[in-house]
Copies of this chain bind each other. A is one copy, B any other.
């Protein structure tokens, strides 16, 4: 196979990857636009957008923290299962 063909094939792959990413970014941009519209609507009804965002952030943090706690719990449990618990005599 010639270099030209190789390049062509690789080029196709590159093009494919790039277009898939661009498609995803397109959809993300649309959803982001949707978020803006929701906030604008809320603002139009007299709600304080800053507070709404703060609430959403807190809820996310709570969720993350719960996930994190589970991670720690997992770590502890894995540590417990270890054959030699490493506790050294003082």
Chain B residues within 8 Å of A62, by CB:
65
The copy count of this chain in the complex is 4
Contact B65 A38 (CB under 8 A): no
A9 to chain B, nearest CB (A): 5
Query: Which of under 10, 10 to 19, 20 to 34, or 35 or more describes the interface residues of A?
Result: 35 or more
Let me know if A4 is at the binding interface, CB within 8 A: no
Contact B48 A75 (CB under 8 A): yes
* CB interface residues, A 41-79, toward B, < 8 Å: 41-42, 45-48, 50-52, 54-62, 64-65, 68-69, 71-72, 75-76, 79
Given A55-B72, A56-B21, A71-B54, check contact A88 B14 (CB 8 Å).
Answer: no
